[in-house]
Amino acid sequence: MSNHAPIAPDASRSTAPVLAVRGLTKRYPGVLALDGMVLEVRPREVVGLIGENGAGKSTLLKSLVGLAQPDSGSIVVRGEEVRLRGVAHAASVGIGMVFQEQSLVPNISVAENILLGAEGAGVRGGLFRWHRMAELAQVQLDKIGSAVSPRARTDSLTFAQRQMVEVAKVLALEERTAHEPVVLLDEPTSVLEREEVETLFAQVRRLRERASVVFVSHRLDEVLEISDRVYVLRNGRVVAEVDPAEVDATDLHHLLVGRESTGSHYHDDAQQEPAGDVRLSVRELQTAGCDKVSFEIRSGEVLGVAGVQGSGREELCRALFGAMPGARGQVLLDGRPLRLDSPRAAVLAGVGYVPSERRTEGVVSSMSVTENLSMAHVGTVCRGPLIDGRRERELVDTWVRRLGIRTPSGDTAIGTLSGGNQQKVVLARWMVSEGLRLLILDHPTRGLDVGAKSEVYELIRELAASGCAVLLLSDTLEEALAMSHRVLVMKDGRITACLDAPRGGKPDPVAIMEAMV
């Protein structure tokens, strides 16, 4: 049984649904994304929505804001069937969304993003009134307790800060509609620290006083904590509707993937002690965010790096891949100096990198699975100066089968795949190379469901067993401890602790937290 206690529904309100989905079906080439989807959202409640990658969550949400047009079925808003023609149309009937893959315009201010398309008093006579724009945006930022300046350029913010701006942007819907809004939150906590999650949840509870909320998350404990009802999706259909007071995270996991959640989730038995020599040696590395960082990784070792947002761990990863201009220090890979001036030099030396922002840095959404998988090693599929199409297809088909990548074909645009399958393609890109010596994983399971995470963990174990060294940044401390042989802790750009994490002897999380903060 769950210990969570969601806010009781407002008995004074009508239970007639404010939003209803009736038999929604949506097909893409080779994929049935929605298969007769049916669900309801009632006034002033929080509805949790969970499902593995590819279960239909994203397609459903896109349909509810007019970004995808269903092939059949209907969407009913406050008793009237609507055919939503886009985000602006959805907003006009009171539906807004915080996107998992952020939708902010990077080269304009926070205020402009929050008020985009609904500037109101921020514009007079066709001219922006910048002071008034900042005031209007500040109202929304204050709702979530954000310290971000409305005048800041959006691309100067961290990923987590931009996520909170996304939330503030949707909250502005309250002032734009006469109806009680429906707010769709697609993985809003995926990059937030616990304190930021609590701030967001407080805002969701405040919203609930005059809005309905659909909350999508792969963090099952969060879904139980904040939701009044939870829908479980699988293969484009609702397979269960549950009361959070009557289930726990293990129950939800079983409904999601049809098996119990156990320690095998992290493939603990596959953790082997690294027997190789030092693969990477870092001495006095300095760059923006890192101050004289020194450590070593052995062949076959998974080294976790723990730290809060701004601790310097993300900058460390980017510096080692040659993506931080001005980085300096002594870095040796198998005893030879590793150039820090370009990603190309890192790749040629046998270093791979899986970035945290999959959509903007990990894949080219408009390109095919084949092109995304082979792009870092075009030379392996060339015959002379030209790409050998047959050799390339054989290579991709091999890795699609080996990793169980769910795609209609190698020619399918990678942007149409689920997040978990996109991530498998990004991992396969580096596993293709026989010369891979170090793989840097920056939050490799971010936004993935429990099943896809387990598959990624298995791949990490295989890579380590093959002798590859792995530098791992995790979304959770639990993941870092479970997957690593050792854990480095960073704070303010420096390493504050290094703890052994052998199988059966993981360190106390409290000790790590103390070193982090």
- Cβ atoms of residues 416 and 161 within 8 Å: no
Shortest CA distance to 170 belongs to which of 188, 186, 187, 183?
183
Eight-class DSSP state of 413: B
DSSP class of 127: E
Distance between CA 189 and CA 216 in Å, rounded?
Answer: 9
Longest dimension (CA), the chain: 74
312 vs 329: CA distance, rounded Å: 16
Residue at token pair 């293969």: 235
Q: Tell me the C-alpha distance between 94 and 85, whole Å.
A: 14
Query: Cα–Cα–Cα angle for 3, 6, 7, nearest 5°?
Result: 145
- 50-72 in b/e form (b: 16+ CB < 10 A) is bbbbbbbbbbbbbbbbbbbebee
Rounded Cα distance between 121 and 279, Å, is 59
Contact 44, 180 (CB under 8 A): yes
Q: What is the pLDDT along the chain (517 residues), one digit of tens a residue?
A: 334 444 444 444 457 899 999 999 998 766 788 999 999 999 999 999 998 767 888 899 999 999 999 999 999 999 999 999 998 899 888 898 887 666 788 889 999 998 887 788 888 888 888 999 999 999 988 887 788 999 999 989 877 788 788 888 887 877 777 778 898 988 887 667 777 788 778 878 887 887 899 999 878 889 999 999 999 998 889 999 999 999 988 888 778 765 444 446 788 888 888 878 999 999 999 998 898 999 999 999 999 999 877 788 989 999 999 999 889 999 999 999 999 999 989 988 999 998 877 777 778 888 888 888 877 666 676 676 777 777 778 888 888 888 788 888 888 888 888 777 888 888 888 887 778 899 999 988 876 777 778 888 988 998 899 899 999 998 778 889 999 999 999 988 999 999 999 988 898 887 887 787 6
Among 501, 506, 94, 498, smallest CA distance to 282 is for 498
Amino acid at 89: H
**Six-digit token pair at 349?**
């030396």
In the chain, what are the domains?
Answer: 265-350+433-516 (3.40.50.300), 365-430 (no CATH)
Q: Residue 118 is encoded by which pair of tokens? A: 């609904």
Structure tokens at 53: 């990658």
